[in-house]
Amino acid sequence: MNHIRTYKGQQPNIGNHVYIDLSAVVIGVVELADDVSIWPHVVIRGDVNYIQIGKRTNIQDGSVLHVARPTPNNPQGYPLIIGDDVTVGHKAMLHGCVIDHHVLIGMGAILLDGVKIEDYVIVGAGALVPPGKVLTSGYLYHGNPARQIRSLTSSEREMLERSSEHYVRLKNEYTNEMCSD
């Protein structure tokens, strides 16, 4: 079975040097920019709205990415837009939200419709970000519902800039090993 699927005539648009694990599924109106990595058992379903994932972003094992359809009360629905250099931890659930650049979404975090995450934010593991909430740049957020905990340290801000570099190297290693088999 093909893990990159067309839905209603819409096929995913995949940039250069993208790694998609064979156990991941990418469906429909999905755009993956250059150097994106999609790890085992990820589901990215752009069926009732679109999904865009920016350069060097990595979506880790078991994460689910989906969207919300347009309705009379919300004619645009909620697409899922993820910026550049974002790290999405294992088993995160992202639904119809916008994530800017240099963000870390912790393992098991849940982001719901209409959420906006500004640049340089860490969302802690297991956090629940309720619909429509805006997480302001430069802070750590955690909890259920997620709340602002403290300002990011300079080393955390630097880590946000380096995290995606690590995953670009790792996906290149996986790609090289697959090519040598």
pLDDT-based confidence at residue 181 (cuts at 50, 70, 90): low
Q: CB neighbours of 169 closer than 8 A, spacing ≥ 6? A: none
Of 83, 135, 72, give the one whose Cα is nearest residue 109: 135
Asked whether the predicted pLDDT for residue 180 surpasses 80, the reply is no
Structure tokens at 102: 């240099």
123-153 CB burial, b ≥16 within 10 A, e <16: bbbbbbbeeebebeebbbbbeeebeeeeebe
Calpha distance 127→26 (Å, rounded): 25
Name which residue leads in pLDDT, 179 or 128. Answer: 128
Calpha distance 55→85 (Å, rounded): 6
pLDDT at 179: 77
Domain 4-180 belongs to what architecture?
3 Solenoid (2.160)
Asked whether the predicted pLDDT for residue 153 surpasses 80, the reply is yes
Structure tokens at 27: 């469906």
pLDDT at 67: 98
Average pLDDT over residues 135-160: 98
Asked whether the predicted pLDDT for residue 58 surpasses 60, the reply is yes
pLDDT-based confidence at residue 18 (cuts at 50, 70, 90): very high
CB 164 within 8 A of CB 147: no
Domain residue extents for the chain: 4-180
Asked whether the predicted pLDDT for residue 1 surpasses 50, the reply is no
Calpha distance 22→162 (Å, rounded): 26
pLDDT at 5: 96
pLDDT-based confidence at residue 177 (cuts at 50, 70, 90): confident
